[in-house]
Structure 1
Amino acid sequence: MNKVYNFGSKTIPLLSEAGGKAKALIETTKAGFPVPDGLVLTVDFFTAWTDKIKETKQWKSLILEVTKDRCDDLKALAESLTFDEEQRKLISDEIKNINSNFYAVRSSSPEEDLEGTSFAGMYETFLGVTPDMLEKFIARAFASMLDYRVMEYKAQHNLCIENTKIAVIIQKQLYSAISGIGFSVNPQNNSYDQVMINASFGLGEYIVGGKVSSDSYIVNTAQNKITSKKIKNKKVALHIHNDGGTTESICDHPHKQALTDEQIFELADLIKKCEFYYGKPVDTEWAYENDRLYLLQSRPITTCFPVYKELLSKPYERKELYLDIVKTSQGFQWSMSELGCDLFCELISKAKQGLFPIGRDGAVYGCHGRVYILLGNLGRIAGESNVKKIISSVDPSFTKVFSSLAFKNYFPKHRPEKMKGIVGKSFKLAVKISPSMIMAAIDFDKTIKDYYKSTDYCLKKLESLRNSKENFTSQINAAFEVFNILVSKMMPILLAVNATSSLMKMFNDKSLEDDILSLNMDLKGNPTSDMGYKQVKLASFPEFIAINSFEEFSRRLKDRGFSAEFTGVYNEYMRLYGCRGIGEIDIARERTHENLERFYTILKQINISDNALIKVQERKKAAYHRLLNQAKKIGKEKKFIKLAKQLQWMGLREHPKYMFVYAVDILRHNALKIAEEFVSDGRLNRVEDIFFLTREQIEKGQNNKNINIGLFVNEEKKIRKLTENVKNWPAIFDSRGEIFTVRREAKEGELLGEPVSPGVVRGRAKVLREPFEKRLEKGEILVTMATEPSWTPIFINACAVVMEIGGALQHGAIIAREYGLPCVTGIENATETINDGDLLEVDGTNGFVKIIK
């Protein structure tokens, strides 16, 4: 390995030799970018110094525990190190190639400026270094690898401290008149078409260090237009002192625009060329000296949201607008498996009876574990107002997004191929459900019985698929046939869903809204609610209460040591709900019947003496009688009774999803059997890897034993590495990466959201990002991003619910209403703003959450 590389070197060093910063400067120099002359002293150059540091007792102690005192002692030792003859000769030979009176000395760590680990601002940079002080400042740059901030950052990111090493850059010092930073993607909204530039007078260290306000410019590179300028008061500037080092000066014209428009465009072009060269968004540092532009640094942006290539459009093409329904409707942040994504798309398509076709030219599209509604394609057919209604049913706050964008610009000029014929399909669907509609109007009770008769038939049909020997695609098609059967029987569900709004219109009295919403408690036909009741029942058995460990519970189940009554309830629960679990819509996720220890823990966490289910019926009954008396006064008693009866069956709205989960459990069982064959053939490493495959890939593997399906798995895992650091997936964004969020205003101490379950409650917050990550005690307020059915036992202990996303029909909102819990959704970053133990007041009637203490 070379110990020194000149920036003009024909050989590009390894990352492990030169570090990310130096490697990028050599790469961009070789590519023809205007990089000031320089060289890098590689990791190997400092071997003797590094060995000396790592032989000390302080270093051995630091490995065991990172403390500031140990880091400071080692830094002092490193700064006192001097060159040996070989080091001094190497620098002397190479420094001649840099024509400069002063130098900039910068660290370049192999771990710095990587995707996911930026170490931003932690390593040292020294400007205006004179030749006689070069050795001293190189030692100080080297020593910065031992800084406490660096070591603590490594510990937090699980990086190996023992592998600590560094390279050092020596570069020609520019006398920058203007300098700054530039992002090839706008970090404020993630738009790939917008370059953001920050600029100020003098050297750029004051901008990077936050010591001066800088101008901010936004350039839309697709339109070649400066779309925003914010000129700041640039009071001071940093310059190179005549004798070396730096000096601060007062700006003569602090309000003057730092860059001319011509320079802004020139710089935006350079930044985009860097992005094109690296094939990914970049963060750059730049400077102008004597009106000439220089590139000082280029590194990957570690914080932007990376859009999968399948979702991207080219800069000048029509953009698509995506609504992520994994995030907005399912209550978890993680991406589904590929197979789970396939099945969920199929569910949406079947449930909508072809009105939401699958594909990039359809209305729903699955991509590497995310499922998107293509709002532009949908809008071209349904129109803007109808699309707003659709997304409002997901989360009412999303409709506010449309006020900030020209939605029609996302419409394709012509109907997408798969969206053709939608009007005809809508007519056929209306004809299909019309018999059920007429019957429901005539005899509501009979349509309920017909629905349950159909579901019993469908469950038997699904059970017949268990251990099927058919190819997997045929199994999926057979499983989803049940939704064609159910759609024609779903009119009672539609009537029940509409009953609430009909009651609101009938009374037209805001003072009665809480009572109307209280009728949504303890609804009939909701399998998720019934699951909760059965969990409470199991947890309440004295013989279960007496058990103190899962081992005892498991042993008594195996030995049939429970009473016949408990065993009957338990077996019924597992028959109906053993198919459910955390992230249950995803076929890759574990089921309750597969993890009895978790189920045991859930039951033990339920407060059986005082929980949300106990007083719900009384509250609902009181609300019903108040409304009935009011209906009598206005002469609408019969209408009220009819609507209230219909409303009682709104819980059935959850039933089709339950049927889907039941089907997924059976398909999961069969898929794992197929995976065992693939593993036996040597084509899969693990049976769980089958969930990284699409159903088409599984079918190919079944039909042709010569196909190495493991390659499909490896490719999918590689693609998903792109987003492995994404913690907060955007709900709405477009195909050029721009993320759209809802901006709300609230009074001091108040968080404004959407009211979905009435009532006002005070309590202490418990913030959960995953179900059961910690115990939620009786009377605490659940604060989370969103929920799914696996969260139901947690609601039993809660006194109120606060969620970041979801509307009135999101699972969490439905269960909160059924259990009589005040609930507010749509509070952006609630899980970051609110901390465990905060005293909150949740106003589920008006949609406010107040942090009291």
Structure 2
Amino acid sequence: MPERANVGGKAQSLFRMAAEGLPVPDGAVLTTAFFASWYARLGRCEAWHALQNAAPEEIPALCEEVARAAAALAWSEDQEQVLGRVRRYFADNHPDALLIVRSSATDEDGVNASFAGIYETLPGVKPEDLDNAVRACFLASLDARVFQYRAQKNITGAAPQLALVIQPHLACDVAGVGFSLNPHNNDYEELVLTANWGQGESVVSGIAEPDTFIVEKHSGRLIEQQLGAKTPSLWLNPDGGLLERRENRGDSACLNEHQIARLLELIKRTEAYHGYPVDVEWAFVGEQLYLLQARPISVYVPLPPSMITAPGERRRLYADAALSKGITLNQAMSPLGLDWINHLFHAILASWVGPIPLYPKPASAFFFCTGGRMYINYSNLLVFSNATKLAKNAEATDTLMADILKSVDTQTYRAAKKPAWVGINMLTRLPRFAAQMSGFSAHVLWMLLFPKRAHRRAKDKIAEVERDLRALFESDRSLTECTDPISRLMVSRLFGQLMPMLVLGMLPAALAVRKPNGRQRRQLDQLQRGFDNHIVVEMGLALFRLGLLLDTDDLENPGETARRLREGSMPVPIQQAWSAFVTRFGFRGPNEMDLATPGYEDDPRIALNQITPMIENRHHANPERLHQEQVRARETTYQTLMGELRGFQRRVLVWLYRRWCLFTPTRDIPKYLITLCNGGMRRKALAVGAELVEAGRLDRAEDVFGLRFEEITKALTQPDFDARRAVQTNTAFTDKVRAHVRHFPPVIDSRGRILRPEPRSREPGVLQGSPVSPGTVTGPVKVLNRPDEKKIKSGDILVAYTTDPGWTPLFFNAGAVVLEVGGILQHGAVVARELGKPCISGIAGIVNQLEDGQVVEVNGDTGTLRLL
């Protein structure tokens, strides 16, 4: 079987499928060796070398320069001989046939990157015109789109190497595309076919509205059929060249039941052979069905096998708890990071209900961790409740999830039988749960009645927990020896004694003013923001103050500045400020809930990249001035409202306001302490990794994050334990997830179906979400998938899937914040309110609907986004 390096992704796939007996048309391949001399000559061009690591804005001009050099390349004697043999092959085996010439680059049709529609395909080529078609395909491989797609997919290293597939161009009667899962909802059980008369190019290029058929894979039942206009259709021109266009009538389907059944079996067989979901191009010539191409579906959400039910079985409903339940992480966690989170949450749950399995099976669990994520099995919860009640409980942290649950049919997803932990076993746990609940409630009541004393005690406890954690991590205890003591400490101190603070920080304003008018609602909201000592805001302000000490050269050369900060060779005031910042916040940063993610202390460039836009925009959006304005606005609003209210309402407002002032700023303290734990655990883990590298058990210290705690113990104590293989096994699925998933869905079922909410607004140009921070702002959109992806300028509308505290520096410059996932208690919403930024959340698909530069109006009072 030819190697991918010789024939490229497309050709290798066709070779393999033909060998498997799948109906692939005959053909020939011009291998990468055919073009080697041309690429070698281009390698002497300065623009070619510059392209390998060019910035996106530099790529088009460099590609034009390379293309000019490529157009002047002459055929070598060897190339002319190969082309002659190809022409003779088709003259002998397919006389009078027109040819189709298709690219097959080495990086094309891969599992992680498909390059669909990026490279060139030339139809209807006469054998005598083969030379020109080959040259045109080669020039197309140098197009800016190729290098931009490589950059988007983080494909680095050697530039693309081209091979070409040459086949007879079939005179198709009907053709199209098939997906082995439904690309619109990720359902593994739904096959989707799109088809048109004639050549499939009318479907692939999108010039015609095709027929669409959705088929249930395990039964063959036609679920849905949509007839498209199917005009124009494209047909093979007997004279060669461009395809012939014809107008059609769209009132009849271009596939019959027999053809759909044959396509179903072909695509199922193709998917089974490849072992992953596929996107297939197919064609009928008379009664003969051909498989023209099969490539991996590059964007979909895979599930671990333990979460998947068999075809036709009752489906289970899962919610992604890592998106909004305090984690706010839109990436697959490392095996060690997930194991640590699982240990911590297991200890919390066990303290409330008694001993439970550390890694329960998804089918019987309430909460479980697998595949780099944390999940809640809602099917088991629906045994005790209904979807409407569950939706209400989810609203505070994830309005999108709540909207989805509102449309869920309880009977469809309710577990067929009660999970094993329901019954007598559950009854024995009730006394413990009741005792814990009583203690928690009593603590909340004590804080309500004696807030100042409770606040002083809480501050002492916070300092005590921080001291104990730092002492534990500075001790000689090993990584695995720290796990249980930290879990116990966090359960007893943080969740037992400090979590009640959150309740007091969220006391409802409705207690003060019943049925407030619009102005009073805004006033009450202002009273709950603009506080000093908010830990996340303090972190952003500390970064800004550090930036004021740096000069322009420091910020323009973050790599060099980071090196000097690590070495301690920056000027004394800067070095002292950096040391103080690292001591307080060094363990924090974007995606901080995963132990494998570097924090500020690991890579100062993370901090420098966040500082730069704040300093550049300090005259328009000074973070310190912005914070002080919010403090003054809160104090002024309080005095105003006190002057307007009388009697009982005024006394209630005083009572509430005192508690808001004391406890609202503490809402992020629990996560601060958890990330402090994460920082210490990360340092301990890297020390173990270095030890295993020295012992020859791992290749890099960072590979330790691919092990679980139990495996780390084995790696340190059992000479025959293969740590490298364990890392490879543990990370195989998370690597797959990172390659395929852009955004994790809030709700998904056990056959991969992503559930979405009913649209809230049908007004043209208006998208309806949920209001989480008031105010109205108009500005240009800036869509970010990562906080370091691009700069936020003053007044930009920051649009993100979800955010964590590592995004906070971006909020200072943003005019408003739009979150796809989140609610009033999600980090992004809390920080937006604290900084007085309008914020809305819960608009499904918003990060894909908006583009940078679009001007929108964000209304945080009504939760609407208006396209202007």
- Aligned CA distance change for structure 1 residues 448 and 694 (closer, same or farther; 3 Å): same
Pair 1:231-2:246 in alignment: no
Residue 27 of structure 1 aligns with which residue? 16
Pair 1:421-2:426 in alignment: yes
Q: Deviation at 1:54?
A: 5.4
Q: Deviation at 1:754?
A: 2.1
- Aligned CA distance change for structure 1 residues 769 and 504 (closer, same or farther; 3 Å): farther
Residue 3 of structure 2 aligns with which residue? 14
1:12-42 CA-partner distances (Å, limit 9, x unpaired)? 3333344433333333333333344x13234
Residue 472 of structure 2 aligns with which residue? 465
Pair 1:269-2:277 in alignment: no
1:86-485 to 2 correspondence within 5 Å?
88=84, 92=88, 96=92, 102-111=97-106, 112-121=108-117, 125=121, 133-134=126-127, 136-148=128-140, 151-156=143-148, 157=150, 164-171=161-168, 174-240=170-236, 248=244, 250=246, 253-328=249-324, 330-351=327-348, 353=351, 359=360, 360=362, 361-417=364-420, 421=426, 424=430, 426-485=433-492
Please tell me the residue identity of whatever aligns with 2:487. F
Q: Secondary structure at the match of 1:436?
A: helix
Residue 693 of structure 1 aligns with which residue? 707
Identity %: 26
Pair 1:733-2:740 in alignment: no
Q: Deviation at 1:809?
A: 0.8
Conserved 8 A contact 2:338-2:373? yes
The whole-number CA distance in structure 2 between the counterparts of 1:67 and 1:200 is 35
Please tell me the residue identity of whatever aligns with 2:400. S
The whole-number CA distance in structure 2 between the counterparts of 1:454 and 1:185 is 52
The whole-number CA distance in structure 2 between the counterparts of 1:253 and 1:752 is 38
1:638-787 to 2 correspondence within 5 Å?
638-648=651-661, 649-725=663-739, 726-742=741-757, 743-745=759-761, 747-763=763-779, 767-771=783-787, 776-777=792-793, 780-787=796-803
The whole-number CA distance in structure 1 between the counterparts of 2:537 and 2:331 is 25
Please tell me the residue identity of whatever aligns with 1:167. L
Q: Deviation at 1:70?
A: 6.0
Conserved 8 A contact 2:13-2:294? yes
1:411-560 to 2 correspondence within 5 Å?
411-417=414-420, 421=426, 424=430, 426-486=433-493, 487-490=495-498, 492-500=500-508, 502-503=510-511, 506-523=514-531, 526-532=534-540, 544=549, 549=554
RMSD: 4.0
The whole-number CA distance in structure 1 between the counterparts of 2:861 and 2:543 is 29
1:602-641 to 2 correspondence within 5 Å?
605=614, 607=618, 611-632=625-646, 635-641=648-654
Residue 587 of structure 1 aligns with which residue? 595
1:729-776 CA-partner distances (Å, limit 9, x unpaired)? 333322322223344536455443321111223455555544466554
The whole-number CA distance in structure 1 between the counterparts of 2:167 and 2:485 is 68
The whole-number CA distance in structure 1 between the counterparts of 2:194 and 2:666 is 55
Please tell me the residue identity of whatever aligns with 1:27. R
The whole-number CA distance in structure 2 between the counterparts of 1:705 and 1:484 is 35
Conserved 8 A contact 1:840-1:851? yes
Please list every run of 5 or more consecutive structure 2 residues that lacks an aligned counterpart in the other structure.
52-61, 555-560
Q: Deviation at 1:216?
A: 0.6
The whole-number CA distance in structure 2 between the counterparts of 1:515 and 1:193 is 51
The whole-number CA distance in structure 1 between the counterparts of 2:517 and 2:159 is 70
Q: Deviation at 1:702?
A: 2.8
Conserved 8 A contact 1:75-1:146? no
Residue 863 of structure 2 aligns with which residue? 847
The whole-number CA distance in structure 1 between the counterparts of 2:716 and 2:42 is 60
Residue 7 of structure 1 aligns with which residue? none
Shifted more, 72-81 versus 800-809: the winner is 72-81
- 1:824 alignment partner, one of 804, 817, 840: 840
- Aligned CA distance change for structure 1 residues 428 and 750 (closer, same or farther; 3 Å): same
1:528-555 CA-partner distances (Å, limit 9, x unpaired)? 2344455567678xxx489985599959
Residue 41 of structure 1 aligns with which residue? 29
Q: Secondary structure at the match of 2:196?
A: strand
Please list every run of 5 or more consecutive structure 1 residues that lacks an aligned counterpart in the other structure.
1-11
Shifted more, 646-655 versus 68-77: the winner is 68-77
Conserved 8 A contact 2:686-2:704? yes
- Aligned CA distance change for structure 1 residues 495 and 831 (closer, same or farther; 3 Å): closer
Please tell me the residue identity of whatever aligns with 1:340. G
Please tell me the residue identity of whatever aligns with 1:684. L
The whole-number CA distance in structure 1 between the counterparts of 2:545 and 2:37 is 67
- Aligned CA distance change for structure 1 residues 159 and 91 (closer, same or farther; 3 Å): farther
- Aligned CA distance change for structure 1 residues 574 and 67 (closer, same or farther; 3 Å): closer
The structure having more radius of gyration, on CA atoms, is 1
Conserved 8 A contact 1:58-1:70? no
The whole-number CA distance in structure 1 between the counterparts of 2:571 and 2:16 is 70
Q: Secondary structure at the match of 1:499?
A: coil
Q: Deviation at 1:494?
A: 5.0
Conserved 8 A contact 1:761-1:822? yes
Q: Secondary structure at the match of 1:106?
A: strand
TM-score after normalising by structure 2? 0.83
The whole-number CA distance in structure 2 between the counterparts of 1:195 and 1:275 is 11
Please tell me the residue identity of whatever aligns with 1:191. D
TM-score after normalising by structure 1? 0.85
The whole-number CA distance in structure 2 between the counterparts of 1:245 and 1:559 is 66
Q: Secondary structure at the match of 2:299?
A: coil
1:310-348 CA-partner distances (Å, limit 9, x unpaired)? 443322333333333434454553433222222223344
Count matched residues.
824
Conserved 8 A contact 2:318-2:749? yes
The whole-number CA distance in structure 2 between the counterparts of 1:610 and 1:461 is 32
